[in-house]
């Protein structure tokens, strides 16, 4: 394939993905996007059922994210708003159908393009992974209690009574079984975002209980 032709054909998509990052020079993002596009081109199988533009999307976003993660960047409010709508729809679908819908199913359900759905989910997932980095290697007692002694441990265990059954399952899976949020999501038939929200809410409830 001719590289210049491929770049020209996917130029609009690269700029569109770049437009959702704030605080980073758009030309730098575009160049990073081209790097991702060319990486995708090397690995793409022409006989694949997946369109090249769809296949390249993750590579383009990945290179831009690597660039942006070394700087202060923000995701547009429109993307965050879309993501909240997607998660609400995903939750309702899971409740009624008994399974979590894929991004493609969600896009078809809401009449959206798969590119926009994937982008919104990738942005939010990236933000969540940055927010959760500091807590990955900390125990439940360290996160909830300031002083880690026997009394604190007993109180932390006792604070489970203020949680719902769903919240208890998430906390136990995360901190007693040492599962990642993605693993908990699969185990409990939820999305990673749902797990993240419930976990954060549960930890706050436990902290409140300890401070009363």
DSSP for 184-211, please give it.
HHHHHT--HHHHHHHHHHHHHHHHHHHH
Check pLDDT > 70 for residue 184.
Answer: yes
With bands split at pLDDT 50, 70 and 90, how would you rate the model's confidence at 136? very low
pLDDT of 137 higher than 50: no
Across the range 57-84, mean pLDDT stands at 71
Q: How many CA atoms does the CB half-sphere of 105 hold within 13 Å?
A: 11
Q: Is pLDDT above 60 for 155?
A: yes
At residue 126, the pLDDT reads: 54
Three-state SS at 72: coil
Residue 96 has pLDDT above 60, yes or no: yes
| pLDDT tops 50 at residue 134 | no
Q: Which residues contact 89 (CB under 8 A, 6 or more apart)?
A: 106, 109, 110
CA 64 to CA 17: how far, in whole Å?
Answer: 9
What angle do helix axes 114-132 and 77-97 make, rounded to 10 degrees? 100
Q: Please give the pLDDT value at position 61.
A: 84
**Top-confidence residue, 124 or 94:** 94
Tokens of residue 156, six digits: 């932390």
pTM: 0.40
Q: Which of 61, 57, 81, 55 is nearest to 21 (CA)?
A: 61
31-49 pLDDT per residue, tens: 888 888 888 888 888 887 7
Of 61-65, 80-84, 163-167, least confident by mean pLDDT is: 80-84
How high does pLDDT run on average in the chain?
76
pLDDT at 135: 46
The set of residues, in sequence order, having a beta carbon less than 8 Å from that of 125 and lying 6+ positions away, is 192
Q: pLDDT tier at 208 (50, 70, 90 boundaries)?
A: confident
DSSP 25-94: -HHHHHHHHHHHHHHHHHH--TT-SS-HHHHHHHHHHHHHHHHHTTS--EE-HHHHHHHHHHHHHHHHHH
Q: Which domains does the chain have, with CATH numbers?
A: 3-68 (1.10.1740.10), 76-133 (1.10.10), 137-211 (1.10.10.10)
Query: Which whole number is the average pLDDT over 50-56?
Result: 85
């Amino acid at each position: 394939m001719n590289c210049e032709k491929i770049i020209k054909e996917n130029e609009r998509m690269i700029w569109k993905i770049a437009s959702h990052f704030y605080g980073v020079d758009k030309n730098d993002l575009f160049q990073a996007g081209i790097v991702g596009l060319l990486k995708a081109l090397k690995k793409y199988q022409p006989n694949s059922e997946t369109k090249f533009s769809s296949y390249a999307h993750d590579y383009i976003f990945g290179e831009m994210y690597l660039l942006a993660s070394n700087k202060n960047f923000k995701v547009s409010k429109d993307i965050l708003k879309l993501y909240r709508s997607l998660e609400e729809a995903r939750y309702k679908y899971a409740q009624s159908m008994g399974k979590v819908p894929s991004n493609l199913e969600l896009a078809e359900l809401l009449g959206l393009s798969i590119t926009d759905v994937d982008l919104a989910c990738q942005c939010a997932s990236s933000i969540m992974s940055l927010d959760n980095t500091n807590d990955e290697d900390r125990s439940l007692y360290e996160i909830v209690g300031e002083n880690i002694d026997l009394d604190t441990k007993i109180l932390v265990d006792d604070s489970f009574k203020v949680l719902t059954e769903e919240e208890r399952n998430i906390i136990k899976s995360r901190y007693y079984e040492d599962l990642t949020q993605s693993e908990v999501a699969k185990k409990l038939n939820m999305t990673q975002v749902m797990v993240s929200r419930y976990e954060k809410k549960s930890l706050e409830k436990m902290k409140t209980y300890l401070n009363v």
